[in-house]
Amino acid sequence: MKEFIQLLPKAELHLHIEGSLEPELMFKLAERNRVEIPYGTVADVKEAYKFTNLQSFLDIYYAGASVLINKDDFYDLTYEYILKCVEDNVIHTEIFFDPQTHTHRGVAFDVVISGIKEALDDAKEKFGITSNIIMCFLRHLSQEDAFKTLEQSLPYKDIIIGVGLDSSELGNPPKKFEDVYNKAREEGFRLVAHAGEEGDVSYIETALDLLNIERIDHGVQAIHSQSLMQRLKDEQIPLTVCPNSNIELKVFETYKDHNIKYLLDYGLNVTVNSDDPAYFKGYMNKNFLNLYEHLDLSKDDIVTLVKNSFRSSFISDELKESYI
Ligand code: HPA
Ligand code: ZN
């Protein structure tokens, strides 16, 4: 099965590039940029990666991102993730970045996007890996701040395909960002949002109805509403599920409790993704392998999940056909 998973060409639709910062690169960049980090060794870092919920992770994740200062740093970060894609046979990826995590520290929007973009261009040229970039608004910040970020992104509209919404879900419902999503839609951005990771079904429903999103990031809490499950099935709205993440952040206590197999069997358009792989013990293949080992997914299940990713991606219909 390991070989089967390895050999399947895959697509990833839910990956925070800042969440692919491996401890080794964190140390290297901390030294290069003379940034203090609260860890002495790689082992110390790994010891700190014991999370109790989403917020306990976010605190450490934002602190880790402080080593990213220059264009080269964003290039190296992205290129290292691309090398993992090569290793795992991921041939298309749609990556998130969080502009506000950087602009709030005085790092220019252009530095961030140009470093990421250059690495993705090289990924296409060297390995044939295709990609899209989605920028996320941090939902613990105000809508006004999101509007400023949207404004900053406009010169890069041909590089950034869509907008998303991430960070602390509870207490920051989709409604808070209704106006900025309307504006993003008018500007031609594709729309996604994290919903139903920790938040209840109302977060998913309002993300669909008020923000008009095309894909739901996570969405695993949908299981608590029969009517929502039916709607997701009827409309085949994609769910970008991140199994390792859900276990590490205690959304489900153990792998055996994860509901992805139930969602898939119900007929939902479910996909598998790695979210923040440097923090959640593994990239795409590790997520698939864990599902196989703990939830008894069949080869057919895995093929369905992979096909769902390609059909739910923001690539052109022609490219989609060539991939599926
Ligand atoms: N949820 C919310 N915000 C995030 C995540 C996540 O899984 N990863 C990075 N930012
Ligand atoms: Zn995420």
Contact 268, 229 (CB under 8 A): yes
Token pair of 152 as six digits: 């900053």
Q: What is the ipTM of this complex?
A: 0.96
Best residue for ligand 1 mutational test, from 14, 53, 54 (most atoms within 8 Å of Cβ): 54
Helix axes of 143-153 and 109-127: crossing angle, nearest 10 degrees: 60
Per residue in 97-123, pLDDT (tens digit) is 999 999 999 999 999 999 999 999 999
**Atom nearest to 16 CA in ligand 1:** 9
Q: Is 166 in the pocket of ligand 1 (CB under 6 A)?
A: yes
Per residue in 162-190, pLDDT (tens digit) is 999 999 999 999 999 999 999 999 999 99
For the chain, what is the radius of gyration of the CA atoms? 18
Q: What is the pLDDT of residue 321?
A: 85
Q: Is 10 in the pocket of ligand 1 (CB under 6 A)?
A: no
Long-range own/partner contacts, residues 120-129 (CB < 8 A, 24 or more apart): 120/78, 120/82, 120/95, 122/79, 122/82, 123/78, 123/79, 123/82, 123/85, 127/82, 127/85, 127/86, 128/91, 129/82, 129/85, 129/86, 129/90, 129/91, 129/92, 129/93
Give the list of residues 6+ apart from residue 76 with CB closer than 8 angstroms, or none.
Answer: 25, 29, 119
Q: pLDDT tier at 159 (50, 70, 90 boundaries)? A: very high
Q: Give all strands (DSSP E) within the chain, no chain letters.
A: 10-16, 90-97, 130-138, 160-166, 190-195, 215-218, 239-241, 270-272
Q: Is 194 in the pocket of ligand 1 (CB under 6 A)?
A: yes
Ligand nearest to the CA of 170: 1
Q: What is the pLDDT of residue 324?
A: 81
Of 91, 90, 50, 112, which is closest to residue 249 (Cα–Cα)? 50
Per residue in 191-244, pLDDT (tens digit) is 999 999 999 999 999 999 999 999 999 999 999 999 999 999 999 999 999 999
**What are the domain boundaries of the chain?**
2-312
How many angstroms does the Cα of residue 160 sit away from the middle of ligand 2? 17
How many angstroms does the Cα of residue 132 sit away from the middle of ligand 2? 16
Q: Is 164 in the pocket of ligand 1 (CB under 6 A)?
A: no
Decide yes or no: CATH 3.40.50.300 for domain 2-312: no
Q: Which residue has the least CA distance to atom 4 on ligand 1?
A: 167
Q: What is the pLDDT of residue 6?
A: 97
